[in-house]
Amino acid sequence: MKRSARAIIDTSALRHNLSRCREVAPNSLAMAVIKADAYGHNMLKTAETLSHANGFAVSCITEALELRQARFIHPILVLQGFQTMQGMKAMAEHRLRAVVHDRYQLELLESAPPSIKLDIAIKLDTGMHRLGFPIEQAWTLFERLSKHPNIKPTPWLMTHMACADEPGNSHTQQQIDRFEKYTDGLQAPRSIGNSASILAWPQTHVNWVRPGIMLYGSSPFSHGNARRDGLEAVMTLTAPLISIHTIAKGESIGYGASWTCPDDTRTGVVACGYADGYPRHAPTGTPVWINGKESRILGRVSMDMVVIDLTAIEARIGDPVELWGKHISVDRVAQAAGTISYEILCDVGGLCQHEYV
Protein backbone atom coordinates (compact mmCIF):
# COMPACT_ATOMS: atom_id res chain seq x y z
CA MET A 1 0.00 0.00 0.00
CA LYS A 2 1.50 3.31 -1.07
CA ARG A 3 1.46 6.51 0.92
CA SER A 4 -0.48 9.56 -0.22
CA ALA A 5 2.42 11.82 -1.10
CA ARG A 6 3.55 11.55 -4.71
CA ALA A 7 6.59 12.80 -6.56
CA ILE A 8 5.43 13.47 -10.09
CA ILE A 9 8.34 13.54 -12.52
CA ASP A 10 7.90 15.53 -15.70
CA THR A 11 9.98 13.70 -18.29
CA SER A 12 9.62 16.43 -20.90
CA ALA A 13 11.09 18.93 -18.42
CA LEU A 14 14.02 16.56 -17.86
CA ARG A 15 14.63 16.41 -21.59
CA HIS A 16 14.20 20.16 -21.90
CA ASN A 17 16.87 20.75 -19.25
CA LEU A 18 19.35 18.51 -21.06
CA SER A 19 18.64 20.48 -24.25
CA ARG A 20 19.22 23.66 -22.25
CA CYS A 21 22.61 22.32 -21.18
CA ARG A 22 23.48 21.59 -24.80
CA GLU A 23 22.30 25.02 -25.87
CA VAL A 24 24.55 26.70 -23.28
CA ALA A 25 27.56 24.43 -23.93
CA PRO A 26 27.08 23.51 -27.61
CA ASN A 27 30.58 22.20 -28.18
CA SER A 28 30.69 19.84 -25.23
CA LEU A 29 29.36 16.34 -24.80
CA ALA A 30 26.92 16.02 -21.90
CA MET A 31 27.42 13.39 -19.25
CA ALA A 32 24.19 13.39 -17.22
CA VAL A 33 24.93 13.03 -13.51
CA ILE A 34 22.38 10.54 -12.21
CA LYS A 35 24.03 9.42 -8.97
CA ALA A 36 22.08 9.10 -5.71
CA ASP A 37 19.06 7.70 -7.55
CA ALA A 38 19.21 10.65 -9.94
CA TYR A 39 18.99 13.12 -7.06
CA GLY A 40 15.83 11.38 -5.82
CA HIS A 41 14.19 11.12 -9.26
CA ASN A 42 14.83 7.37 -9.84
CA MET A 43 18.04 6.53 -11.63
CA LEU A 44 16.79 4.00 -14.18
CA LYS A 45 13.75 6.01 -15.24
CA THR A 46 15.89 9.13 -15.50
CA ALA A 47 18.48 7.27 -17.59
CA GLU A 48 15.69 6.04 -19.85
CA THR A 49 14.32 9.56 -20.25
CA LEU A 50 17.79 10.96 -20.89
CA SER A 51 18.97 8.08 -23.06
CA HIS A 52 20.09 10.63 -25.66
CA ALA A 53 22.70 11.99 -23.23
CA ASN A 54 26.26 11.28 -24.36
CA GLY A 55 27.00 9.41 -21.15
CA PHE A 56 26.12 9.07 -17.49
CA ALA A 57 28.04 9.82 -14.31
CA VAL A 58 27.33 7.93 -11.10
CA SER A 59 29.12 7.88 -7.81
CA CYS A 60 29.93 4.19 -7.29
CA ILE A 61 30.22 0.83 -9.00
CA THR A 62 26.91 -0.42 -7.64
CA GLU A 63 25.04 2.38 -9.39
CA ALA A 64 26.98 1.80 -12.60
CA LEU A 65 26.31 -1.95 -12.59
CA GLU A 66 22.61 -1.29 -12.09
CA LEU A 67 22.70 0.76 -15.29
CA ARG A 68 24.59 -1.95 -17.19
CA GLN A 69 22.19 -4.62 -15.93
CA ALA A 70 19.35 -2.49 -17.29
CA ARG A 71 21.21 -2.58 -20.64
CA PHE A 72 22.38 1.00 -20.85
CA ILE A 73 25.38 0.86 -23.15
CA HIS A 74 26.43 4.50 -22.70
CA PRO A 75 29.83 5.64 -21.48
CA ILE A 76 29.57 5.63 -17.69
CA LEU A 77 31.92 7.62 -15.48
CA VAL A 78 32.24 6.32 -11.91
CA LEU A 79 33.11 9.39 -9.86
CA GLN A 80 34.57 7.59 -6.85
CA GLY A 81 36.40 5.04 -8.99
CA PHE A 82 37.32 1.63 -7.54
CA GLN A 83 38.53 0.85 -4.03
CA THR A 84 39.47 -2.83 -4.43
CA MET A 85 40.94 -5.17 -7.04
CA GLN A 86 37.55 -6.82 -7.35
CA GLY A 87 35.96 -3.43 -8.03
CA MET A 88 38.59 -2.62 -10.62
CA LYS A 89 38.00 -5.93 -12.41
CA ALA A 90 34.25 -5.35 -12.44
CA MET A 91 34.79 -1.92 -13.93
CA ALA A 92 37.01 -3.29 -16.69
CA GLU A 93 34.57 -6.11 -17.44
CA HIS A 94 31.61 -3.73 -17.72
CA ARG A 95 33.47 -0.99 -19.60
CA LEU A 96 33.03 1.60 -16.87
CA ARG A 97 35.31 4.62 -16.80
CA ALA A 98 36.94 4.83 -13.39
CA VAL A 99 37.93 8.10 -11.84
CA VAL A 100 41.46 7.57 -10.50
CA HIS A 101 42.05 10.06 -7.74
CA ASP A 102 44.35 8.50 -5.13
CA ARG A 103 47.71 6.73 -4.86
CA TYR A 104 46.22 3.47 -3.58
CA GLN A 105 44.35 3.14 -6.86
CA LEU A 106 47.64 3.45 -8.75
CA GLU A 107 49.05 0.63 -6.63
CA LEU A 108 46.02 -1.54 -7.42
CA LEU A 109 46.47 -0.76 -11.10
CA GLU A 110 50.16 -1.67 -11.00
CA SER A 111 49.40 -5.04 -9.41
CA ALA A 112 46.52 -5.94 -11.74
CA PRO A 113 46.81 -8.87 -14.18
CA PRO A 114 47.70 -7.77 -17.73
CA SER A 115 44.32 -8.95 -19.03
CA ILE A 116 42.65 -5.96 -17.34
CA LYS A 117 42.06 -3.03 -19.68
CA LEU A 118 40.49 -0.09 -17.97
CA ASP A 119 39.10 3.27 -19.10
CA ILE A 120 40.06 5.95 -16.62
CA ALA A 121 39.75 9.64 -15.90
CA ILE A 122 42.60 11.15 -13.91
CA LYS A 123 41.10 13.42 -11.26
CA LEU A 124 43.23 16.49 -10.67
CA ASP A 125 42.83 18.66 -7.62
CA THR A 126 42.86 22.31 -8.66
CA GLY A 127 41.53 23.67 -5.36
CA MET A 128 38.49 21.67 -4.25
CA HIS A 129 40.71 19.52 -2.00
CA ARG A 130 38.31 16.59 -1.84
CA LEU A 131 39.36 13.98 -4.40
CA GLY A 132 42.28 14.17 -6.80
CA PHE A 133 46.03 14.34 -7.30
CA PRO A 134 47.74 17.70 -6.95
CA ILE A 135 47.38 19.46 -10.30
CA GLU A 136 51.17 19.92 -10.49
CA GLN A 137 51.42 16.13 -11.06
CA ALA A 138 49.25 16.22 -14.20
CA TRP A 139 52.10 15.66 -16.70
CA THR A 140 53.89 12.91 -14.82
CA LEU A 141 50.67 11.07 -14.05
CA PHE A 142 49.44 11.33 -17.59
CA GLU A 143 52.76 10.09 -18.97
CA ARG A 144 52.77 7.19 -16.53
CA LEU A 145 49.13 6.20 -16.96
CA SER A 146 48.72 6.70 -20.69
CA LYS A 147 51.50 4.18 -21.29
CA HIS A 148 50.32 1.75 -18.65
CA PRO A 149 49.45 -1.71 -20.06
CA ASN A 150 46.30 -1.96 -17.93
CA ILE A 151 44.91 1.30 -19.19
CA LYS A 152 43.13 1.81 -22.45
CA PRO A 153 44.57 4.60 -24.57
CA THR A 154 44.05 8.18 -23.55
CA PRO A 155 42.92 8.68 -20.01
CA TRP A 156 40.66 11.67 -19.52
CA LEU A 157 41.72 14.61 -17.41
CA MET A 158 39.15 16.02 -15.03
CA THR A 159 38.73 18.40 -12.16
CA HIS A 160 35.83 19.70 -10.06
CA MET A 161 34.96 23.25 -9.09
CA ALA A 162 34.48 24.22 -5.46
CA CYS A 163 32.76 27.62 -5.81
CA ALA A 164 31.25 27.78 -9.29
CA ASP A 165 27.86 28.46 -7.69
CA GLU A 166 29.15 31.91 -6.67
CA PRO A 167 29.55 33.70 -10.02
CA GLY A 168 31.86 36.41 -8.67
CA ASN A 169 34.18 34.11 -6.74
CA SER A 170 37.79 34.30 -7.96
CA HIS A 171 38.49 30.76 -6.69
CA THR A 172 36.83 29.35 -9.81
CA GLN A 173 38.99 31.38 -12.19
CA GLN A 174 42.05 30.25 -10.23
CA GLN A 175 41.00 26.60 -10.57
CA ILE A 176 40.43 27.04 -14.31
CA ASP A 177 43.80 28.76 -14.73
CA ARG A 178 45.62 26.00 -12.84
CA PHE A 179 43.92 23.30 -14.86
CA GLU A 180 44.81 25.01 -18.13
CA LYS A 181 48.39 25.72 -17.09
CA TYR A 182 49.25 22.25 -15.88
CA THR A 183 47.44 20.23 -18.55
CA ASP A 184 48.48 22.44 -21.46
CA GLY A 185 49.83 20.30 -24.30
CA LEU A 186 48.45 16.99 -23.05
CA GLN A 187 46.48 15.22 -25.76
CA ALA A 188 43.51 14.03 -23.73
CA PRO A 189 39.77 14.60 -23.43
CA ARG A 190 38.95 16.96 -20.56
CA SER A 191 36.01 17.42 -18.21
CA ILE A 192 35.52 20.30 -15.78
CA GLY A 193 32.02 21.68 -15.48
CA ASN A 194 29.12 20.88 -13.18
CA SER A 195 25.80 22.75 -13.55
CA ALA A 196 26.99 26.04 -12.07
CA SER A 197 30.08 25.99 -14.27
CA ILE A 198 28.01 25.17 -17.33
CA LEU A 199 25.70 28.11 -16.70
CA ALA A 200 28.19 30.70 -15.46
CA TRP A 201 31.73 29.74 -16.58
CA PRO A 202 32.00 29.14 -20.35
CA GLN A 203 35.75 28.47 -20.00
CA THR A 204 34.79 25.15 -18.38
CA HIS A 205 32.99 23.97 -21.53
CA VAL A 206 35.66 21.53 -22.59
CA ASN A 207 35.12 18.09 -24.20
CA TRP A 208 32.69 16.83 -21.56
CA VAL A 209 30.39 18.68 -19.18
CA ARG A 210 28.81 16.99 -16.16
CA PRO A 211 25.36 18.52 -15.53
CA GLY A 212 23.57 17.35 -12.39
CA ILE A 213 21.15 19.61 -10.55
CA MET A 214 20.28 21.69 -13.63
CA LEU A 215 18.82 18.57 -15.29
CA TYR A 216 16.33 18.38 -12.45
CA GLY A 217 15.27 21.98 -12.99
CA SER A 218 16.81 23.52 -9.92
CA SER A 219 19.23 26.40 -9.81
CA PRO A 220 22.80 25.58 -8.78
CA PHE A 221 23.28 29.14 -7.48
CA SER A 222 22.65 30.05 -3.86
CA HIS A 223 19.99 32.68 -4.63
CA GLY A 224 19.41 31.58 -8.17
CA ASN A 225 16.30 31.42 -10.23
CA ALA A 226 15.99 28.28 -12.32
CA ARG A 227 13.44 29.81 -14.67
CA ARG A 228 15.73 32.71 -15.42
CA ASP A 229 18.37 30.15 -16.37
CA GLY A 230 15.90 28.56 -18.77
CA LEU A 231 15.30 25.46 -16.63
CA GLU A 232 11.98 23.73 -15.96
CA ALA A 233 11.00 22.11 -12.66
CA VAL A 234 11.04 18.33 -13.03
CA MET A 235 9.67 17.05 -9.72
CA THR A 236 6.34 18.07 -8.22
CA LEU A 237 5.88 16.85 -4.67
CA THR A 238 2.15 16.72 -4.00
CA ALA A 239 -0.14 15.31 -1.33
CA PRO A 240 -3.84 15.67 -0.51
CA LEU A 241 -5.55 17.62 2.23
CA ILE A 242 -6.86 15.14 4.79
CA SER A 243 -8.39 17.48 7.37
CA ILE A 244 -9.64 21.05 7.52
CA HIS A 245 -10.52 23.03 10.63
CA THR A 246 -10.49 26.42 12.20
CA ILE A 247 -8.15 26.86 15.16
CA ALA A 248 -9.11 29.53 17.65
CA LYS A 249 -7.08 32.69 18.17
CA GLY A 250 -4.37 32.07 20.79
CA GLU A 251 -4.22 28.29 20.21
CA SER A 252 -1.03 26.77 18.89
CA ILE A 253 -0.35 24.27 16.12
CA GLY A 254 1.65 21.03 16.04
CA TYR A 255 4.61 19.59 17.96
CA GLY A 256 6.29 22.00 20.29
CA ALA A 257 3.31 24.37 20.00
CA SER A 258 5.70 26.49 17.98
CA TRP A 259 3.15 28.66 16.18
CA THR A 260 0.24 30.44 17.79
CA CYS A 261 -2.77 31.62 15.80
CA PRO A 262 -2.98 35.45 15.88
CA ASP A 263 -6.67 35.14 14.90
CA ASP A 264 -9.11 32.34 14.33
CA THR A 265 -7.29 30.52 11.54
CA ARG A 266 -8.61 28.09 8.95
CA THR A 267 -6.04 25.35 8.53
CA GLY A 268 -5.58 22.20 6.47
CA VAL A 269 -3.57 19.10 7.20
CA VAL A 270 -1.55 17.75 4.24
CA ALA A 271 -0.59 14.05 4.16
CA CYS A 272 3.11 14.65 3.63
CA GLY A 273 5.88 14.91 6.17
CA TYR A 274 9.55 14.32 6.63
CA ALA A 275 9.11 10.57 6.06
CA ASP A 276 8.11 11.49 2.51
CA GLY A 277 11.12 13.75 2.07
CA TYR A 278 9.62 17.10 3.03
CA PRO A 279 12.29 18.89 5.10
CA ARG A 280 11.58 18.87 8.80
CA HIS A 281 13.42 22.17 9.17
CA ALA A 282 11.03 24.04 6.88
CA PRO A 283 9.71 26.78 9.17
CA THR A 284 6.31 28.43 9.41
CA GLY A 285 5.91 30.50 6.27
CA THR A 286 7.53 28.03 3.84
CA PRO A 287 5.41 28.36 0.68
CA VAL A 288 2.98 25.78 -0.69
CA TRP A 289 0.50 25.96 -3.57
CA ILE A 290 -3.14 25.00 -3.37
CA ASN A 291 -6.05 25.59 -5.74
CA GLY A 292 -4.28 28.28 -7.74
CA LYS A 293 -2.99 30.19 -4.72
CA GLU A 294 0.20 30.41 -2.76
CA SER A 295 -0.11 29.65 0.93
CA ARG A 296 2.32 28.62 3.67
CA ILE A 297 2.98 25.97 6.24
CA LEU A 298 2.21 26.58 9.91
CA GLY A 299 4.09 25.07 12.85
CA ARG A 300 6.49 22.14 12.77
CA VAL A 301 6.59 19.52 10.04
CA SER A 302 5.71 16.08 11.44
CA MET A 303 6.66 12.65 10.11
CA ASP A 304 3.62 12.19 7.88
CA MET A 305 1.81 15.51 7.97
CA VAL A 306 2.17 19.23 7.75
CA VAL A 307 -0.38 21.95 8.54
CA ILE A 308 -1.03 24.76 6.06
CA ASP A 309 -2.83 28.08 6.21
CA LEU A 310 -6.19 28.09 4.41
CA THR A 311 -7.09 31.69 5.19
CA ALA A 312 -9.00 33.03 2.16
CA ILE A 313 -8.47 29.78 0.25
CA GLU A 314 -11.35 27.62 -0.97
CA ALA A 315 -10.38 24.04 -0.28
CA ARG A 316 -11.94 20.64 0.29
CA ILE A 317 -10.74 17.32 1.63
CA GLY A 318 -8.71 15.55 -1.06
CA ASP A 319 -7.55 18.72 -2.81
CA PRO A 320 -3.94 18.34 -3.93
CA VAL A 321 -1.31 20.55 -2.35
CA GLU A 322 1.95 21.25 -4.19
CA LEU A 323 4.83 21.21 -1.71
CA TRP A 324 7.18 22.11 -4.56
CA GLY A 325 7.02 21.89 -8.32
CA LYS A 326 5.89 24.15 -11.14
CA HIS A 327 4.52 26.93 -8.89
CA ILE A 328 6.70 26.70 -5.80
CA SER A 329 10.31 26.08 -6.79
CA VAL A 330 12.24 23.52 -4.81
CA ASP A 331 14.88 26.24 -4.43
CA ARG A 332 12.45 28.41 -2.42
CA VAL A 333 11.65 25.52 -0.12
CA ALA A 334 15.34 24.73 0.29
CA GLN A 335 16.17 28.34 1.12
CA ALA A 336 13.35 28.49 3.67
CA ALA A 337 14.59 25.27 5.28
CA GLY A 338 18.19 26.49 5.38
CA THR A 339 19.47 23.86 2.99
CA ILE A 340 20.03 23.23 -0.73
CA SER A 341 17.71 21.68 -3.26
CA TYR A 342 20.17 18.80 -3.77
CA GLU A 343 19.56 17.60 -0.23
CA ILE A 344 15.81 17.79 -0.25
CA LEU A 345 15.44 16.22 -3.68
CA CYS A 346 17.69 13.32 -2.64
CA ASP A 347 15.52 12.82 0.44
CA VAL A 348 12.44 12.02 -1.65
CA GLY A 349 13.29 8.36 -1.47
CA GLY A 350 11.54 5.04 -1.44
CA LEU A 351 8.46 5.83 0.68
CA CYS A 352 7.06 8.43 -1.61
CA GLN A 353 5.51 7.06 -4.80
CA HIS A 354 7.15 8.32 -7.97
CA GLU A 355 4.98 8.85 -11.01
CA TYR A 356 6.46 9.53 -14.45
CA VAL A 357 4.46 11.69 -16.81
Residues binding ligand PLP (CB under 6 A): 33, 79, 160, 194-196, 210-214, 220
Identity of the residue, 108 or 196, whose beta carbon is nearer to ligand PLP in the bound complex: 196
Backbone angles phi, psi at 244, to 5 degrees: -135, 130
Q: Report, in Å, the least distance between residue 157 CB and ligand PLP.
A: 13
Q: Report, in Å, the least distance between residue 36 CB and ligand PLP.
A: 9
Which is catalytic among the residues 45, 255, 293, 356? Answer: 255
Which is catalytic among the residues 35, 123, 216, 278? Answer: 35
Q: Respond yes or no: is residue 35 known to be catalytic.
A: yes
Identity of the residue, 26 or 292, whose beta carbon is nearer to ligand PLP in the bound complex: 26
Q: Report, in Å, the least distance between residue 160 CB and ligand PLP.
A: 4
Q: Respond yes or no: is residue 216 known to be catalytic.
A: no
Identity of the residue, 6 or 160, whose beta carbon is nearer to ligand PLP in the bound complex: 160
Identity of the residue, 150 or 204, whose beta carbon is nearer to ligand PLP in the bound complex: 204
Identity of the residue, 158 or 269, whose beta carbon is nearer to ligand PLP in the bound complex: 158
The 3-state secondary structure of the chain reads CCCCCEEEECHHHHHHHHHHHHHHCCCCEEEEECHHHHHHCCHHHHHHHCCCCCEEEECCHHHHHHHHHCCCCCCEEECCCCCCHHHHHHHHHCCCEEEECCHHHHHHHHCCCCCCCEEEEEEEECCCCCCCEEHHHHHHHHHHHHCCCCECCCCEEECCCCCCCCCCCHHHHHHHHHHHHHHCCCCCCEECCCHHHHHHCHHHCCCEECCCHHHHCCCCCCCCCCCCCCCCCCEEEEEEEEEEEEECCCCEECHHHCEECCCCEEEEEECCCHHHCCCCCCCCCCEEEECCEEEEEECCCCCCCEEEECCCCCCCCCCEEEEECCCCCHHHHHHHCCCCHHHHHHCCCCCCEEEEC
Q: Report, in Å, the least distance between residue 71 CB and ligand PLP.
A: 24
In the complex, residue closest to ligand PLP by CB? 212
Q: Report, in Å, the least distance between residue 305 CB and ligand PLP.
A: 31
The C-alpha angle 59, 65, 66, rounded to 5 degrees, equals 90
Backbone angles phi, psi at 112, to 5 degrees: -80, 150
Q: Report, in Å, the least distance between residue 194 CB and ligand PLP.
A: 3
Identity of the residue, 33 or 47, whose beta carbon is nearer to ligand PLP in the bound complex: 33
Catalytic residues: 35, 255
